[in-house]
Amino acid sequence: MELNERERRVLEAIVQSYVETAEPVGSRVLARRFGLGVSAATIRNAMSDLEDKGYLFHPHTSAGRVPTDRAYRLYVDALMGAPKLTREEVGILRDGISHGSAVTEVLRRAAEVLGVLAQELGVAVAPSLDAAVLERLDLVSVSTDRLLLVLTLKSGVVRTIFVHVPGSLHPDAIVNIALVLNDRLAGLTLREIRGTLNERLRDTARTPAENELLDIFLATGDSIFDLQADTAEGVVLGHTSVLADQPEFSGERMKSLIELTEQRDVLKRVLGQRPLGCVTITIGGENEPQLAGLTLITSPYTAGPLTGVIGVLGPTRMPYEKIVALVEHTSKMVGDLLR
C-alpha cells in the first residue's frame, strides 16, 4: 500500500527507535526524540494507520508498536540511508582478515571479525570450486591400501583426498599414473575433468598394476574431482556468543539458534542459493522456515573464476545501514585477499 510522507517519516523513526532500544515505540517518544513537527496525537493516528496497513503491531496491551517484517522491507528498500563505515571499522576489518592465507582461514577470520563488528552471527560459504583449474596432482603412498591424492588448484586451494586401493602397488606404477593424470588433466577445470575423464584416460595401455590404479580413478572420478561436498570448505561461522546479549535470543530462541548452526547442510544450501551479483537481504518470513524470524544479509566475493558469499545472520531488528556497509566491505576485502 502507498504511504504518504508523514507515514513514511513516522515508520522510519519507529524502525530506528526500535533497533536502538528493542522497546515498543510510543507516540510521545517519537514526538520528543525525532522532531517530526506534529503533535503526539497526529503521530498516534499515523501509527494506527500503519498498523492497519501491516507495518506495525502491538506486542501486548501497551501503547507502543513494533515494526513487522513488511516495515523492515520498506525501510531497507526505500528509507534507509547510504551505507558507510568509519575508518576505525575499516581498519579492524583489514587487520582481522589480512593474516589469513588458506581459503578456510581467510573465511573464518572474516566471519569472526564481521560478526563482532556487526554484533550478529558472521556466516560464509567457501567458493564453488567447479570452475577452479587443476594445476597439478600428486600421489603419495601412505599404507598398503591407501594413497593420498593431493590436488593443487590454480586459485591457491590445495585439497587432499584418500584413495583406497586393493593392495600394495609398486612405486613405479604410482609415479607413472601420476604422470598420466597430470598430462591428461592439468589445465582443466574440475567440472571439465568430471565430464571428460573417461574420454581423456582412454587408450592408456599400461602394466596390470597401472591399469588397476587407473581403473580406480575411472570408477571414482566423479567423487574425487567433486570438491563441493567437502565439509572443510563448506559453511564457516563466526561466534554465536555475540548474539547472547540481544533480547531476541533469550531462553528457547538461543537454543533454536544454536541448533540451526549445527545444521550445516541447511545453511550451506541457503547460502549456496544466494544471488552472486549484489548484496541480498532476506527478512523474517522471506527466508526458509528454519530461518523465520531472522534476517540474512549476504554479499558475494570473487577470486578469479571462484565465487562465494559472506554475510551475517541475526534478528530482524538490526541496524541495516551499518551492517550492509560491513558486509559489502568485508566481501570486497575477502575477494581481494584471495586473489
Predicted confidence (pLDDT) at residue 85 exceeds the cutoff of 80 = yes
- Lowest average pLDDT, out of 153-157, 180-184, 259-263, goes to 153-157
The CATH number given to whatever domain includes residue 59 is 1.10.10.10
| Residue-number span of the structural domain to which 184 is assigned | 134-224
Report which of 332, 275, 323 is spatially closest to residue 117, judged by C-alpha positions.
323
**In the chain, what is the straight-line distance between the N-terminal and C-terminal CA atoms, in Å?**
45
Cα separation, 301 vs 335, in Å, equals 5
Q: Could you read off the pLDDT of 299-315 as tens digits, one per residue? A: 999 877 778 899 999 99
Indicate whether 197 and 274 sit together in one domain: no
- Lowest average pLDDT, out of 152-166, 210-224, 281-295, goes to 152-166
User: Would you tell me how many other CB atoms lie within 10 Å of the CB of residue 306?
Assistant: 23
User: Would you tell me how many other CB atoms lie within 10 Å of the CB of residue 273?
Assistant: 10
| Sign of the alpha-carbon torsion through 281, 283, 289, 290 | positive
Average pLDDT over every residue of 24-39? 90
Q: Could you read off the pLDDT of 252-288 as tens digits, one per residue? A: 888 888 888 888 888 988 998 888 888 999 999 999 9
Indicate whether 112 and 244 sit together in one domain: yes
* Confidence (pLDDT) at 61: 66
Query: ∠ CA 227-233-236 to the nearest 5 degrees?
Result: 155
Indicate whether 188 and 306 sit together in one domain: no
The CATH number given to whatever domain includes residue 150 is 3.30.390.60
Pairing of strands 56-57, 235-237: unpaired
Indicate whether 111 and 252 sit together in one domain: yes
- Where is pLDDT greater, at 231 or 160? 160
Predicted confidence (pLDDT) at residue 231 exceeds the cutoff of 60 = no
Indicate whether 123 and 234 sit together in one domain: yes
Average pLDDT score over the chain:
88
Number of domains in the chain: 3
List all residues 6 or more positions away from 2 whose beta carbon is below 8 Å from its beta carbon: none
Indicate whether 243 and 118 sit together in one domain: yes
Output the nine-digit C-alpha cell for 93. Answer: 576489518
Indicate whether 95 and 244 sit together in one domain: yes
Cα separation, 304 vs 173, in Å, equals 35
Give the residue from 170, 195, 224 where a domain finishes. 224
Cα separation, 283 vs 291, in Å, equals 9
The model's pTM:
0.78
